Structure 1
């Protein structure tokens, strides 16, 4: 099998640079135009959706920039998680993608998130 045909288009399978490794502090965000979610016609006429990783132009495309400050233990756990996921996929994973996946899964398990917040002191009352 030969490589991709040379031309004006970019390689959709190329890894996006990780903004964590960039020193640009600009607060610009990528476009949030939903039209990038274009269906593709697969064999048999079925409509499929191109996964976000392949239809975006950069790792920031379609995302809002939000500040994230992590405790040292959490940052170390994130580093371990990134290494584990990269081993599982045998591929480089964007730290931005990992973080959004962690948030998304956390949103699906709010009971566990509430438990962590309780561990940090939320819900404690001192006025009784």
Structure 2
């Protein structure tokens, strides 16, 4: 491509030997450190802004994972018949509310997390099953 001005079609990522030679020929004592400091400060500000954005906009677990088992430990779960029926009914209820399919795995963990936030009610259930009974 003849006739083009220098720099018009050059690779912007190519090494620029003229910059390197100019830096090498600077008198001692004069460096480009103030420019480097400005670049570093600018990069740190950008990094801080990026971190704040990530904290403000956190992608929900449903969209971050590759599958429902991602980030979860497998634990056995054995349910009584009436609990299994209630779980199925709850699944249908949430699918109606969200107007989309709800993962049974997600529902089970959500129910577990809510139960952990309501230990007094869980205690009542355990007492119904016989926990805390003494036969003195």
Short-chain TM bin? 0.5 to 0.7
> Which residue of 82, 86, 89 corresponds with 1:80?
89
Rounded to whole Å, the distance in 2 between the matches of 1:65 and 1:73 is 23
Unaligned runs of 5+ in 1: 1-38
| Larger relative helix fraction | 2
Secondary structure (helix, strand or coil) at the match of 2:57 reads strand
- Residue-pair matches, total: 86
Larger Rg: 2
> Which residue of 46, 58, 63 corresponds with 1:49?
58
1:115 correspondence with 2:91: no
Alignment of 1:9-88 (within 5 A): 41=53, 47-88=56-97
Shift of 1:41: 3.6
Note the aligned Cα RMSD (angstroms): 1.7
| CA displacement, residues 28-73 of structure 1 (integer Å, 9 cap, x when unaligned) | xxxxxxxxxxx7848xxx7311100000011000000000000000
Rounded to whole Å, the distance in 2 between the matches of 1:84 and 1:109 is 21
- RCO (CA 8 Å, sep 6+): is it higher in 1 or 2? 1
CA contact (8 A) 1:85 1:93 kept: yes
Rounded to whole Å, the distance in 1 between the matches of 2:69 and 2:109 is 11
Secondary structure (helix, strand or coil) at the match of 1:68 reads coil
**Counterpart of 2:113?**
104
Rounded to whole Å, the distance in 1 between the matches of 2:97 and 2:104 is 15
| Larger relative strand fraction | 1
TM superposition outliers: structure 1 runs of 4+ over 4 Å: none
